[in-house]
Amino acid sequence: MDIGFIGLGNMGFPMARRLIEAGHGLVVFDTRKEVTGKLEALGAKPATSPKDVADQVETVMASLPSLQASLEVATGANGVIEGSRAKRFIDLSTVGSAMAVKIHGLLAKRNIVQIDCPVSGGVGGAEKGTLAVMVSGPKAEFELLRPALDVIGKVFFIGEKPGAAQTMKLANNFLSATAIAATSEAVVMGVKAGLDPAVMIDVINAGSGMNTASRDKFPRAVLPRSFDFGFATGLMVKDVRLALEEMKQLGLSMEVADAVGRLWETVISAEGAESDFTAAIKPIEKKAGVVVGGAKGGVTGK
């Protein structure tokens, strides 16, 4: 399949590379020439704009960092909507259901099908092709695209309703955000009481408290204090805010979600949008007067 791919960031680049390695022909666009150059070396064709991509292929994928970026790439000046060949736009980004519905309506006027296709599993999952790939859109289009989507991960068809896959992604990322926040508080509690954080994580992972943060994030990025798991705090906060907005629109009262949202607002204020989201533990440590982990695997109290 000939595929256009727009947005070659931490997630987009490895997904695009896997598609090339699987034999798909790629036309790529990113504002950074150095990343498109790397894919050109693997056989991809460069494009000068989203419109140029959509002039060359019928199927366009995009992995973008913000709602506005997705809207502009899909429907803005020089966007996919102006392309002469594009028939379908697959948005791998997390934009929330309201924005997905908006893009769907605008593209439909040009007979371009919007496919919601957010992914979960981080940079590691993108590299290995093990992402959870959530899809909503016309079933026939899904079946057409499935061979390509299978290359990037495990594919789940959520439904035909525009935005349905976005709702699924927000539910998933809310749980991920909750896991890192709750695990941080639990481990800081133990460290404050004199427990070894490495032993705590081992016990949690052998018991009923095991979660994605204790299993993956803490051993790899928190206990060594590298804080380099590969997902920005700004992106996590964006997803949490979107989840809270969707819950509100549905008329729900979510006490845990509200608390998680407040904590992540504290994290972005203290650590900045560009920090790794595993740095969520730092404001909690600061309030408790402890530091979890370190080069020697110990604890420094204050």
Task: Please report which residue ranges of the chain form alpha helices under DSSP H.
Answer: 12-21, 33-40, 50-56, 67-75, 96-108, 122-128, 139-152, 164-192, 197-206, 212, 233-249, 255-271, 281-288
Cα separation, 7 vs 17, in Å, equals: 12
Q: How many CB atoms lie within 10 A of CB 281?
A: 29
- 251 class by beta-carbon count within 10 Å (0-12 exposed, 13-18 middle, 19+ buried): exposed
**C-alpha angle 64-70-72 in degrees, rounded to nearest 5:** 125
Give the count of beta carbons closer than 10 Å to the beta carbon of residue 192. 15
Tell me which amino acid residue 103 is. I
Cα-only R_g, the chain: 20
The closest alpha carbon to 29, from 7, 9, 3, 44, belongs to 7
CA distances for 290 relative to 66, 201, 202, 276, angstroms: 35, 17, 20, 20
Pairing of strands 300-301, 290-291: antiparallel
Tell me which residue of 217, 200, 268 sits closest to 238, measured CA to CA.
268
Q: What is the torsion angle, in degrees rounded to the nearest 10, for the CA atoms of residue 282, residue 286, residue 289 and residue 291?
A: 20
**Known catalytic residues?**
169
Q: How far apart are CA 230 and CA 252, in angstroms?
A: 32
